[in-house]
Structure formats: C-alpha cells, structure tokens
Structure 1
Amino acid sequence: MPFTLATWNINSVRLRAPLVERLLREAAPDVLCLQECKSPFEKIPHDRFRALGYRWMLGRGQKSYNGVAILSRLPIEEVSALDHAGLGHARHIAGRLENGVVIHNFYVPAGGDVPDREVNLKFGQKLDYLTDMRDAFRAEPPRRSILVGDLNVAPREDDVWSHRQLLRVVSHTPVEVAHLGEAQEAGAWVDVTRAHIPEGRLYSWWSYRAPDWRAADKGRRLDHLWATPDIAGAAHSSRVLKDVRGWEQPSDHVPVLATFEV
C-alpha cells in the first residue's frame, strides 16, 4: 500500500490551520505529522481537517507550547505516547497503520540558547531526551517503523548554512550531533531524506529574524524523516517544500515528505 508521509513543525496549528489545509489540498500527503501545535489536543480544529478527508487524528497537546499530532486519511491507531526525560511535555505520539507500519512523531526540545548543561537547564533536558530516545531504541529495536519530526539538530556540515560559524550554536554543536547520532544508530534508523538527496546544502528551517529569509538563506535542517532498514528501501520521492516558508504568516519550518511503497 503506497502512502505519502509529511512532517511539519507548524508553530501553532490553530493560528496556521489555513496553511495546514492548503498543504493537505496541494501536497495531499496521506499522513501528516505536526509538531509544536501549541494547543490542547481537543482544541485542534479536527473538523476542518476531517472535511478534507483526514478522518483519523492522534496527538498530545499542551496550552501555548509543545504538542504533536498525526492527521491521516488512512486508518491509524495509537500505540504509544512517550515522555522521555520525564519532562511532562507533549513531545511524542506514535500510531500504527493497517499495514503494520508504526509512525513515531517526535518534537525534541530546542535546548535554549547556551550549549552548556551546567548553566542552561534546557540544554541538559535536550541531551537527556535524546539519551532516553537512544535507550528506548536499544531496549526495543524498532521494526517496520518510520520516525519523523522536529529533532532540533542539524547533524551534517551541509545541513547548516555555515558549519564553522554554528559549531557553538545550539542545534549544531558536536555534543548534540553525537547524541542524535547515538539515537539514530540505536534504532538502526536510515535518514531517508539524505538517502535520496545525499549531496548539497539542505534546510527545513529559516529564522524569523532574517528580514529576507530567501536571499539570506541561512537555514538549518532540523526536521527529519527516518525509517528502519526493513522498509527504508521502499521509500522514494523525498522532498523539502522550501516555498512553503514564503506562504502568508508562515511557520519558520517547512514540510519534509517521502513516499513509501509498503
């Protein structure tokens, strides 16, 4: 059963519900995973998305921040909602499609501004969250699974606009890259996006602070789409919808997509 999956940090699903609707109409993914919904789950505008054919919706929400959701045109049932690092945050939801594929939707903590856990609690929480992800994958190796989300780490040198200038900036520091790499290795996850787009600079986030984000193009690839080796080879057509960053009242992130023939 082929299906297309998209992941998008929407930065307030209620504020940007019209953008979600536009993506659902124009890109028509079968499954859309959202992060940073900034809404209690019951207040997400389900009816607006259901009217476009997305009858199934899973999620966890919080007022004003965090929050994850999965919208699907395909039947999907919830299998877990993990609280890594014991933060009490809405940062994970997982569902299983009828073909047995499990989709994990993660929103990893951003980590604050200072890359030092001794002086920045949020940075320590981020590292602990990634460590718990690693340990969970080691304890129960995933099978027939896809992992998507805003992982808040740009791991490769060409995942940022300047490797040298961002080495001490949260999201690209060596310690964060190492922690993400350990979590990826623990689950034997394949970076599907980079498997299909192996060379060149590739970004999914551009700061609101840039007066002309497109001209400056100082982006980072913070949003990821991974799969376990048993289904990674069934993926194709990976793409990053850069133009979405130019929509009216956009999120600072853009959708990342891939199609799976499973």
Structure 2
Amino acid sequence: MKRRDFLGIAGGALATTALSAYGQNAPLALRTVSYNVLAFRGFPRTEGNRDALGAAHSRLPEITARTLAAFKPDLITFKEAPYEKKVKRFAEALGMNYAFFPGGWKGDRTYPGGFPGAIITRYDITYSENRPSAGEAHPDTLYTRHLGRAELSTPFGKLHVITTHFHAHKQEVRLEEAQKIIELIESLRTTAPVLLQGDLNHTPDAPEYQLWKNAGLIDIGAKMGIGDEPTYPVTEPRIRIDYIWATPDLAEKAKDAAVLSKPPFVPDPKNPASFALSDHMPVMATFSD
C-alpha cells in the first residue's frame, strides 16, 4: 500500500464510514480518547507491509492525527508516547495543546525513551504535573511507564485528567499503583470531576479493577455497554486492558463509548500490505449535559 493510499483511508473513507458508525453528527460537549500509540511505530511489521510501513513511518504522527480528527476529539491521552517532539507534531496537526510526561524507566534499544505519556487537548491546560504524588514520594518501582495529570478548563468547568500506564507483569506493583492513584483522586475530586485514562494492563476480572470500583469510580466502557469489547492486540483482539474511568459527577454525563476497531486502527484483513497505527485500539467516550 502506498502512503497516499493509507492517508486516503485515514482521512477519506474513515471520515465518512466511521463517523456514522460512532455517532459523530450529534453536537457534543466533551469527547475523549485513550490510546496506547506504540510510539507511532505502526503494527505489525510483516514482509507484506514492509514497504507501506516504511513509506509512512516518518509521517505517522500526522497520519494518526488525521485519523483521530475524523472523530472530533476534545481530549486525547497517550500511552507509550514517542519522543516529545513527535507528540508536539501530533498536537500541532490538530491545533491542540499538550503536556508531556516522561516515564520512570528511561528505556533501552528496543524502547528508546521508555514509555512516556501525554495529554493532548483543545482546552486550556492550566496546570500539569509529572508523576504526581498523593503524599509521600513514589518509590522508583512505581509508574515505571508513566503517570501524569493535568487540570483543564472545559465546558464543564475545571476537569482533572490523569493518564497512566501500569506495569505489564507484576500484579503487586499494579495494585500499589492503583492505590496511590486512588489516593490522588480522593484529593482532587473535592475541587472538580476526575477523568482517569490508561493502559492499566489488567482485565475486568482482576483485583485491580475491583479497587477502582470500591473507590467509587465508574468504568465508562462498562456503563455504556462495551465492557466486554477487547482493546488488545489489534491482530487478534482478546483482552480488555485500556480504560476510561470517571468520578460519578462526570460519569453521569456519559452519552456513549466505543472501542475504535476499524482500519486503520486495526489491519485491513482484505489488504496484506496494510498495518494498524498501534498494537492497541483506542477507547473513546463522549460526555454531554
């Protein structure tokens, strides 16, 4: 597939077919997307898509921006963000502001730069903080991927947004990461609603999930009827590990939610030269009075 063909999918067919599929024509107050973008690498890498992926690689920030622009998001959070300069390119392509959050782990040859995160939004970012603490400083073992927060000025007034990416292999670490974020949310929710978006690396039947529920947070995907839809991996979706959670005062405004599961968020099964934008699918939610 040539790059111009891929761009055509992202900006043409997607904008006409997927808008209808996900109810884009209604007036909206706040639409948010949580997305593990695999550092804008594209996925998977195969013999069949080598040329197409190679041709598109340098423009994946703009391709991804153009693809997501069809859904008219107001807020996007990244997991496994690329270097900050590419996040800036993505934000500029959408005319948005951004806050960048370096991870605790600085990376290696396979993952240069580690697993940073970002908040990208058309709203004013009035405050942002990397690796915010709910009290004492976080140990180095926590949030080795990332944890960041920002305060936004939105149509709902002030909104606290937290983005995070939990440890992939150690449940005991994830449980502690969740508990620290719950403490942080408790301190924030007294002043404004809180939105938590992340690749949490746990499924809905895990103890970590129950912690969020016990803290009074609402799983927007489950609330809107898509709680059984997998978000990973794009080549054979089988598990749900990407979430949008909200405090009840915001959750009551939820109008819809979706896992974006059409090309180019997944490979086109009819085209062996195609690739997905990431190994995860984005999760989207809409809130309105």
State the TM-score bracket (shorter-chain normalisation): 0.7 to 0.9
What CA distance in whole angstroms lies between the structure 2 residues aligned with 1:131 and 1:220? 23
Deviation at 1:51, TM superposition (A): 3.3
Tell whether 2:174 aligns with 1:132.
no
Deviation at 1:250, TM superposition (A): 2.8
Aligned residue in 2 for 1:236? 255
Tell whether 2:266 aligns with 1:245.
yes
What amino acid is aligned across from residue 124 of structure 2 in structure 1? P
What CA distance in whole angstroms lies between the structure 2 residues aligned with 1:231 and 1:104? 14
Contact residue 148 and residue 226 of structure 1 kept, 8 A:
yes
* Structure 1 SS opposite 2:39: coil
Gaps of 5+ in 2: 1-27, 42-56, 133-137, 268-273
Aligned pair in 2 of structure 1 residues 195, 13: CA closer, same or farther (>3 Å)? same
Aligned pair in 2 of structure 1 residues 125, 19: CA closer, same or farther (>3 Å)? farther
Deviation at 1:179, TM superposition (A): 2.8
Aligned residue in 2 for 1:195? 223
Deviations 1:105-153 (A, max 9, x none): 1111112xxxxxxxxxx45433332232344445665641111111111
* Structure 2 SS opposite 1:76: strand
Contact residue 174 and residue 208 of structure 2 kept, 8 A:
no
Specify which of 98, 101, 110 is matched with residue 57 of structure 1: 98
What amino acid is aligned across from residue 180 of structure 1 in structure 2? Y
Tell whether 2:283 aligns with 1:256.
yes
What CA distance in whole angstroms lies between the structure 1 residues aligned with 2:139 and 2:225? 32
Aligned residue in 2 for 1:178? 207
What amino acid is aligned across from residue 91 of structure 1 in structure 2? H
TM-score (structure 2 length as normaliser): 0.67
Deviations 1:175-202 (A, max 9, x none): xx1133214422x110111101166x31
Aligned residue in 2 for 1:95? 150
Q: How many residues align?
A: 219
| Aligned residue runs from structure 1 range 72-87, under 5 A | 72-82=121-131, 84-87=138-141
What CA distance in whole angstroms lies between the structure 2 residues aligned with 1:249 and 1:104? 26
Could you tell which deviates more after superposition, 220-229 or 147-156? 147-156
Deviation at 1:12, TM superposition (A): 0.6
Specify which of 223, 230, 233 is matched with residue 206 of structure 1: 233
Aligned pair in 2 of structure 1 residues 134, 18: CA closer, same or farther (>3 Å)? same
Contact residue 92 and residue 104 of structure 1 kept, 8 A:
yes
Pairwise CA RMSD: 2.6
Gaps of 5+ in 1: 112-121, 157-176, 208-212
What CA distance in whole angstroms lies between the structure 2 residues aligned with 1:185 and 1:202? 22
Q: Which has the larger radius of gyration?
A: 2
Deviation at 1:154, TM superposition (A): 1.1
What CA distance in whole angstroms lies between the structure 1 residues aligned with 2:159 and 2:183? 21
* Structure 2 SS opposite 1:12: helix
* Structure 1 SS opposite 2:94: coil
Specify which of 29, 33, 54 is matched with residue 73 of structure 2: 29
Contact residue 24 and residue 52 of structure 1 kept, 8 A:
no
Tell whether 2:163 aligns with 1:105.
yes
Aligned residue in 2 for 1:174? none
Aligned residue in 1 for 2:89? 47
Q: Percent identity?
A: 21
Contact residue 145 and residue 166 of structure 2 kept, 8 A:
no
Deviation at 1:82, TM superposition (A): 2.4
What CA distance in whole angstroms lies between the structure 1 residues aligned with 2:93 and 2:211? 41
What CA distance in whole angstroms lies between the structure 1 residues aligned with 2:92 and 2:188? 34
Deviation at 1:77, TM superposition (A): 2.5
Aligned residue in 1 for 2:54? none
| Aligned residue runs from structure 1 range 136-155, under 5 A | 136-137=184-185, 143-155=192-204
* Structure 1 SS opposite 2:287: strand
